[in-house]
């Protein structure tokens, strides 16, 4: 009779152990792929970048409509697209060592001729001190970099190019649509 409570306790412990193992298995790769930094242990790469032009003249930024934007309210969202999707955090290999914005048209009444690098005119949202050229080593899936044009150009038609340069020398490029600033 004394063995019956012992086996009941043993059975309960085994059942709890099996449930714990199953719960950990259900968490999947989110738990398995995290390294010491909290980012995934596997390497990923940026295959391309997408650009979204935004109008920041209201309470919240909205996509630019009909390629027209107030010249004092332009924002650019730079979206890195990863080769391996479905993972929350990704260590970028090779890392992006440089990022630049170039004007493809004469900008601000010719103060910046077509082909000029205009990095100094854009700042990352919420930081007046971090420009676009900050290196990128980790990317959260769906993450984007919001760059605010901190210069009020003359009204006109403009176009920009964003370039990422990896440590291995690969260049990833995207161009905006032609924009009319009014």
> Domains of the chain: which residue ranges?
3-32, 43-181
Residues 40-44 have a mean pLDDT of 59
Mean pLDDT (whole number) for 49-69: 93
- Give buried/exposed letters for 87-99 (b at 16+ CB in 10 A, else e): bebbbbeeebebb
Inter-residue contact 41 to 84 (CB < 8 Å): no
Higher pLDDT, 24 or 68: 68
CA distances from 55 to 24, 47, 107, 172 (A): 44, 27, 18, 25
So what's the pLDDT on residue 53? Answer: 96
Question: pLDDT tens for residues 73-119?
Answer: 999 998 888 777 655 556 677 788 888 999 999 998 888 999 999 98
- Report in angstroms the alpha-carbon separations of 143 from 2, 65, 90, 138: 61, 23, 11, 10
**DSSP letter (8 states) at residue 115:** T
Overall average pLDDT of the 2-8 stretch: 69
Categorize the per-residue pLDDT at 176 as very low, low, confident or very high, splitting at 50, 70 and 90.
very high
What is the band of 69 on the pLDDT scale with cuts at 50, 70, 90?
very high
Q: Say which DSSP state 24 is in.
A: H
pLDDT of residue 82: 77
What does the pLDDT look like over 119-172, one tens digit per residue?
889 887 755 455 566 667 666 666 778 889 998 899 999 999 999 888 889 899
The tokens for 145 are 């970099």
Secondary structure of residue 84 in the 3-state scheme: coil
More confident of the two residues 61 and 40: 61
User: What's CA 130's distance to the chain center, in Å?
Assistant: 15
Residue 42 has pLDDT above 80, yes or no: no
pLDDT at 97: 85
CATH code for the structural domain at 43-181: 2.60.40
Confidence category of residue 34, pLDDT binned at 50, 70, 90: very low
Question: What per-residue confidence (pLDDT) applies to 112?
Answer: 94
CA distance 97 to 168: 9
């Amino acid at each position: 009779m004394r063995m019956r409570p012992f086996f009941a306790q043993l059975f309960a412990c085994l059942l709890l152990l099996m449930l714990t193992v199953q719960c950990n298995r259900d968490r999947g790769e989110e738990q398995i792929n995290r390294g010491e930094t909290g980012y995934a242990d596997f390497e990923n790469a940026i295959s391309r970048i997408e650009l979204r032009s935004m109008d920041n003249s209201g309470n919240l930024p909205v996509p630019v409509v009909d390629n027209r934007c107030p010249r004092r309210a332009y924002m650019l969202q730079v979206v890195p697209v990863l080769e391996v999707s479905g993972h929350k955090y990704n260590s970028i290999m090779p890392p992006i060592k440089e990022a630049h914005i170039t004007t493809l048209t004469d900008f601000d009444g010719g103060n910046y001729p077509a082909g000029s690098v205009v990095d100094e005119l854009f700042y990352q949202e919420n930081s007046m001190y971090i420009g676009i050229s900050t290196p990128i080593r980790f990317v959260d899936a769906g993450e984007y970099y919001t760059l605010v044009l901190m210069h009020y150009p003359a009204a006109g038609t403009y176009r920009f190019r964003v370039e990422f340069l990896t440590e291995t020398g690969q260049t990833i490029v995207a161009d905006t649509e032609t924009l009319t600033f009014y």
